[in-house]
Amino acid sequence: MIGSKLKEAILCLRTGLVTLKYPFAPHPPEEDFRGYPEVDVDKCIGCGGCAAVCPSRAIMIQDIDQNTRRIVRLLERCIYCGRCAEVCPEDAITMTKQFELSSDKAREDMEVESQIFMATCQRCGRCYTPPSPVDKIMEPGFRDDEIKRGGQDSPYEPVKSAEE
Amino acid sequence: MSAQQLGETVKQRFGDKVLDLSAPDLGQLYLTITPDSVVPVAEYLYKDLGCRFVVNSGTDRRRERGKFLITHFFTQDEEKIYIAVHTEVDEDHPQIDSITPTVPAANWSERETRDMIGVVPVGHPDPRRLVVADDWPEDLFPLRWDVEHGTKPPPVEGVAMPRLDPPEGASVVPIGPYFPVLEEPTYFRVCGEGEEGGGVDHRGFYNHRGVEKLGCSVLTYNQVPFIAERICGICGFVHSSSYCQAVELAAGLEVPERVEYIRTIMLELERIESHSLWLGIAGHIIGFDTILMQTWRMREPLMWLCERISGNRKTYGMNLIGGVRRDIEPEMYDDILEVIGNIEREWQALYDAIPGDGTLMARLQGTGVLPTEVARELGAAGPTARGSGLAIDVRIDHPYAAYDRLDVKKCVYDGCDNLARVLVRLDETLDAINIIRQALRDMPEGPIMAEFDEEIPAGREAMNAVEAPRGEVFHWVLTGTENRPERWRVRAPTYANLQNVPPMLKGNALADVPICIGSFDPCFSCTERMEVVDVNSGRVRVYTQEEMLAETQGHSES
């Protein structure tokens, strides 16, 4: 009985102080930690791969019109699995080391919304990701002048200039 | 005996009653029998062939076959065979004979199947509802295909679970609905006389998350592992491994050998982590916080190691169908060995101290006795079963991943009490360290993901079990169309172990109730991927709210 208590005491004493100073001192996670997924919306091409693999359905895709795709990432639903970063063909998503994410306005703080200019399928009229950047530039509506000109394929009304 | 031979034996005995028999794999046997022979076949398997009941499942196959498919799962541990006994039940007469009077372990899962699919087990000794909320409509069965995921019937007030009648003169001690020791929602009503506990009534399943429905109606094959992992907060990797292995078996997918070793290592790391967490909690329950402090301190470097390997302390998110997402780089081997070496040294010190400690012995020895026979009858799993002298361990009985190539020890104690269950876990932790060393030594080079382009064909099925820290985790997958399982059935170990609470508490002092319940490492969130209630033997005196108020007022006045 006494022997056991002594053994336990030695086990405790040998340990010394182990409590970390966190949160008063930083405690960075390991390399390759899967924290807050940061989205570089400029790189996004709107393919929707991330939404297709997301287990918690945190990423929603909505086509506003034939050329515009709206992607809403409700990151308060995110389970930090990192599948979106894994499948993204453009490496637009990075899993950061940020893990201190509590907020009293989670919904606003954790929502990332972007709108992507897409190509329109001439057969079904729905959005798709153009095969190359050149194809994207050729899409009616991509450039301002295209809109102004009101080209034959353009879905927009021609913009009237001040002179007219 | 192979699975095919076992099937032939059953067919010889029951002749035409066995409609179909297939054994696609050495360890898997599928029987389809007529509805009237369910009880005799179950009795034959359980009593004559020495099989153990695992779980039962209901599948809505009205679209394909116009029938409900009820499946009883058994296992023959000596022959390393899992047996699925399918029965098709008519849509118009959704009834099946209950096997609970013959196989007591089927109690909860038959009730769950009734709640979920609506096939009534006729002759069930405790026909109360188990899983669904008290105000859930009687005629709405969530796992039927025509009930949409996310269906929310309007709440109804003034309904409650029918409770068991109390015996004359006994008083009731409510524990829960927020279980104070494990910080999880469950509700035990222990009735007793004086200090001695008697019958127990249990209501759980407050945390029903509908994970199975989600997997069968919304997610795709490769999304399920991440949700499966979240069935349990402590032993998540076992669920995703078991699910992935079941789908791989069903699809006939060969996974690279390195994947099997990585899964084995992660499973064993998880076992060390879970057992040290549990030992700390157990110490805490009996008021011996030194153990809590020390085991949780030992555990912390392991959590950091897992974070380094997988990207997260828990819920590793490593499993996908056909492989794992992250490799264990060779430069990590030394770090792993160092961390587990340190744990081994300190664990050994703890191990040496525990058996001599009078405080611990007084609380553990001879309390919470679960006799071997009862444990077998009620289907105990994992350390709970092994502490009661049942030598069952999925890693050896039904080897998966790389366990067939490694030296694994079955840690069995026949003390049947809380101490035996502690010793089993102490041993297993040291054994897990040993297994990791072997796996790191033998792990071959190679890819970490199987190459496959084809779709997983529909209508195939596979069973797989994994030895979680708490016991046997069982997954059954029936593949479907639309890139998702048609049915995915999960049985967590606590589901089986919780049914052992009533006999375990009988005759114990009320002060020992928390450690008795704690001794099988209950995980209510695992169990409640659907919901549960039990039962039993119990006689309970129930105080109404008025009585309780009167009681307190009486005290304050006096």
Query: Taking CB atoms and an 8 Å limit, are A4 and B357 in contact across chains?
Result: yes
The predicted model gives B139-166 an average pLDDT of 86
Q: Name the nearest CA neighbour of B242 among B71, B107, B447, B55.
A: B55
Of B284, B270, B225, which is closest to residue B470 (Cα–Cα)? B270
Alpha-carbon distance of B75 to B226, in angstroms, equals: 27
Q: Do A55 and B223 touch (CB under 8 A)?
A: yes
* Mean pLDDT of all residues belonging to chain B: 87
- For residue B153, CA distances in Å to B137, B161, B216 come to 7, 18, 20
Q: Could you write out the DSSP letters of every residue in B523-554?
A: -HHHHTTS--EE--S-------HHHHHHHHHH
Per-residue pLDDT tens over the stretch B36-66: 999 999 999 999 999 999 999 999 999 988 9
CA atoms within 13 A on the CB side of A127: 20
**Cis peptide before B137, with omega less than 30 degrees from 0?**
no
Give mean pLDDT, residues B132-144.
90
Give residue A162's pLDDT band: very low, low, confident or very high (50, 70, 90): low
Question: Would you say B111 and B535 are in contact if contact means Cβ atoms under 8 Å apart?
Answer: no
Side chain identity, residue A78: C
The residue ranges of every structural domain in chain A are 29-120
Query: Is B386:B411 a contact under the CB 8 Å cutoff?
Result: yes
Task: List B203's β-bridge partners, or say none.
Answer: B187, B533
From chain A, the residues in CB contact with B308 under 8 A are 30-32
CA distance to partner chain A, nearest, from residue B356 (Å): 5
Residue among A4, A53, A55 minimizing CB distance to B353: A4
Two structure tokens written together for B237: 């990797």
* Model pLDDT for residues B161-172, shown as the tens digit of each residue: 777 776 777 788
Residue type, B498: L
Task: Confirm or reject contact between A133 and chain B (CB < 8 A).
Answer: no
Domain ranges of chain B: 3-160, 211-530
Contact (CB<8Å) B290/A8: yes
The mean pLDDT of B9-27, rounded to a whole number, is 91
- Residue B256 is classified by DSSP as P
| Distance (Å) from the alpha carbon of B29 to chain A's nearest alpha carbon | 32
> Residue A144: its pLDDT value, please?
58
**Choice between B26 and A95, residue whose per-residue pLDDT is larger:** A95
Bridge partners (DSSP) of residue B245 are none
Q: Which amino acid is at A7?
A: K
Residues B499-525 have pLDDT tens digits of: 888 888 888 888 888 888 888 787 776
Stretch A95-124: mean pLDDT: 87
State residue B22's pLDDT score.
Answer: 93
What is the overall mean pLDDT for chain A?
Answer: 83
Contact residues for B278 (Cβ-Cβ < 8 A; gap 6+): B425, B469, B521
Q: What does the block give as tokens for A57? A: 């359905």
Q: B388 pLDDT band (50/70/90 cuts)?
A: very high
Torsion (CA) B520, B191, B526, B131 in degrees, nearest 10: 150
Sequence letter at residue B403: Y
How much of chain B, in percent, has pLDDT values that exceed 90?
62
Helix (H) or strand (E) holding B53: strand B52-61
Q: Look at residue B528 in the predicted model and tell me its pLDDT.
A: 61
B209 touching chain A per CB within 8 A: no
| DSSP string covering B474-490 | EEEEEE-STTSEEEEEE
What is the Cα–Cα distance from B251 to B462, expressed in whole angstroms?
Answer: 9
User: Do residues A52 and A78 make contact, with C-beta atoms less than 8 angstroms apart?
Assistant: no
| Set of chain B residues whose Cβ sits within 8 Å of the Cβ of A34 | 311-312, 317
Q: What's the whole-model pTM score? A: 0.90
Are residues B495 and B526 in contact, defined by beta-carbon separation less than 8 angstroms? Answer: yes
CA distance B272 to B346: 13
pLDDT at A164 over 50: no
- pLDDT for A145 equals 54
CB B280 within 8 A of CB B295: yes
Q: Could you give the CA distance from residue B539 to residue B535 in angstroms, rounded to a whole number?
A: 10
CATH architecture of B211-530: Orthogonal Bundle (1.10)
CA atoms within 13 A on the CB side of B6: 31
Residues in chain B closer than 8 A to A79 (CB atoms): 226, 230, 315
- CB B4: neighbour CB atoms within 10 A? 15
**Sign of CA pseudo-dihedral B129, B130, B134, B136:** negative
Task: Say whether pLDDT at B527 is over 80.
Answer: no
CATH numeric code, B3-160:
3.30.460.80
Mean pLDDT of B27-42: 94
pLDDT at B154 over 60: yes
Q: What's the first-to-final CA gap in chain B, in angstroms?
A: 72
Q: What is the pLDDT of residues A16-63, one digit of tens each?
A: 888 899 999 998 998 889 999 999 988 998 999 999 999 999 999 999
So what's the architecture of A29-120 in CATH?
2-Layer Sandwich (3.30)
Question: Same CATH fold, B211-530 and B3-160?
Answer: no
- Concatenated DSSP letters of B222-237: TTHHHHHHTT-SSSHH
A7 inside 8 A of chain B by CB:
yes
In degrees, rounded to 5, the angle at the alpha carbon of residue A89 between the alpha carbons of residues A112 and A141 is 65
Which residues does residue B37 pair with via DSSP β-bridges, in sequence order? none
Q: Chain A neighbours among B 261-300 (CB < 8 Å)?
A: 290, 293-294, 297, 300
- Tell me how far apart the alpha carbons of residues B540 and B558 are, in angstroms, rounded to a whole number: 27
Chain A residues inside the 8 Å CB shell of B226:
55-56, 79, 81, 83
**Minimal Cβ distance to A11: which of B218, B225, B350:** B350
Cβ <8 Å between B226 and A56: yes
At residue B466, φ and ψ (nearest 5 deg) are: -130, 140
Share of chain B above pLDDT 70, in %: 93
DSSP code per residue over B245-310:
HHHHHHHTPPPPHHHHHHHHHHHHHHHHHHHHHHHHHHHHHTT-HHHHHHHHHHHHHHHHHHHHHH
Q: What pLDDT, on the 0 to 100 scale, is given for residue B52?
A: 92
- Residue B375's identity, in one-letter code, is A
B109 or A143: whose pLDDT is higher? B109
